[in-house]
Amino acid sequence: MTNLKEIFESDNWLITSVSQGRGRHRIDAKRRFPVADERNFFSKWGSNEYLEKLSMENYGKKLNEFSNYKY
pLDDT band at 14 (very low <50, low <70, confident <90, very high): very high
Closest CA to 31 of 20, 23, 42: 42
Note the pLDDT tens digit of each residue in 15-58: 999 999 998 999 999 999 999 999 999 999 999 999 999 999 99
Of 68, 54, 61, the closest CA to residue 18 belongs to 68
For 25-34, the CB contacts below 8 A with 24+ separation are 25/51, 25/63, 27/51
* Residue 35 near residue 47 (C-beta atoms within 8 A): no
